[in-house]
Amino acid sequence: MIIDSFEPHAETMLESNTWTKNSRAFKILWNLEKKEARHASAFIPCVNEMKNYAKNRYGVDVSDRCLESKPACVDLDKFDFSKRKDPKLVQELGLKDKIVSVYAGKFGSSYLEKEIFDFWKTCHNFWGDKFRVLILTSHKEEEINLYCKASDLDRNIVTTKFVFHEHIPSYIGLGDFGVTPFKPAASKRYGTPIKTGEYWSMGLPVVITPNISDDSDTIEKYKIGSIMNEFTEKEYLRIAEEINQLLTHKEETSLHQKIRKVAEKYRSFDIAHRVYNDLYGENGRAWKF
């Protein structure tokens, strides 16, 4: 048995308040995860830190069975920042000369709700009418209306669309910065959100919460975004100022190229090819079990 994309799931369901620790569902999955850790022949973790999670939480040392980590990789040919700011879409959505915060995903469960709309409210106060929000989501308009109302965010600056994945690059490319609004729960350290890699591939700086996969550390290391450490107006303003510095004090092309190189290093399919070849290739480990 080989476990691909080795990451926690049972404790994630606790952190999102979907299950309780005494629920039958949690106990079944938790015990199956521990059995997997004990008996699998090899693991492909999403992040290297998963080795420590397995040892500390499952009580199993998997270090000698773990391969190189394989994050959620992105097709860099499709997510290419040459698709940025498609003139037709810019015109259609009224985004000309606007600073656009783009988010592809949901709200609730593992994701922030009011906090992210409060952040956008602060961004609107900071940038004024130059600021816009683009949400690519399956949430209904009524839900978005309620979120905006709760945060006193002007609904007129928010555009929501449901977009099939094949068109996501062109819509993400309308943004000036992306957001990855995970609730900062412990288990989020061990997976990899695909949306961050997609933002990077399009050359976008990212606002993210702390300790999300390796992404938060990477953003801090390369100074390609901002970490949302608290959910306060003061913190939201600091982030807006930090993003503004990135967008206005660097040549746009060099900023996008810098971020694109991060995507190539940390989210390219080349990583997956290398890991799978190590495991399943002609002389791979799988044939030696």
Do residue 28 and residue 127 come from a single domain?
Answer: no
Do residue 211 and residue 143 come from a single domain?
Answer: yes
Do residue 29 and residue 142 come from a single domain?
Answer: no
Q: Residue 168's domain is classified under what CATH number? A: 3.40.50.2000
Buried/exposed code over 32-67 (b: 16+ C-beta within 10 A; e: otherwise): ebbebbeebebbbbbbeebbebbeebbebebeebbb
Percent of the chain with pLDDT over 90: 90
Do residue 107 and residue 214 come from a single domain?
Answer: yes
Tell me the average pLDDT of the chain: 95
Do residue 97 and residue 148 come from a single domain?
Answer: yes
Domain annotation covers residue 76: no
Confidence at residue 282, expressed as pLDDT on a 0 to 100 scale: 87
- Please tell me the least confidently modeled range out of 87-96, 212-221, 275-284: 275-284
Do residue 44 and residue 107 come from a single domain?
Answer: no
The distance from CA 110 to its chain's CA centroid, rounded to whole angstroms, is 12
Do residue 242 and residue 280 come from a single domain?
Answer: no
Confidence at residue 216, expressed as pLDDT on a 0 to 100 scale: 97
Domain annotation covers residue 17: yes
Domain annotation covers residue 135: yes
Tokens 């850790």 appear where? 37
Closest by CA position to 172, among listed 136, 220, 118? 136
Domain annotation covers residue 218: yes
CA dist., res. 213 & res. 110, Å (int): 14
User: How many structural domains comprise the chain?
Assistant: 2
Residue 209: pLDDT band (50, 70, 90) is: very high
Do residue 146 and residue 195 come from a single domain?
Answer: yes
Domain span at residue 11? 2-71+268-288
Bridge partners for 43 per DSSP: 3, 66
For strands 177-180 and 99-104, give the pairing: parallel
pLDDT for 111 beyond 80: yes
Do residue 249 and residue 281 come from a single domain?
Answer: no
Confidence at residue 251, expressed as pLDDT on a 0 to 100 scale: 64
Confidence at residue 250, expressed as pLDDT on a 0 to 100 scale: 61
Do residue 232 and residue 214 come from a single domain?
Answer: yes
Domain annotation covers residue 229: yes
Distances (CA, A) of 272 to 50, 67, 187: 17, 11, 22
* Amino acid making up residue 206: V
Domain annotation covers residue 20: yes
Do residue 44 and residue 85 come from a single domain?
Answer: no
C-beta of residue 137 within 8 angstroms of C-beta of residue 172: no
Domain annotation covers residue 37: yes
- Please tell me the least confidently modeled range out of 56-60, 123-127, 176-180, 247-251: 247-251
Tokens 């729960």 appear where? 185
pLDDT for 136 beyond 90: yes
Do residue 176 and residue 261 come from a single domain?
Answer: yes
Confidence at residue 258, expressed as pLDDT on a 0 to 100 scale: 94
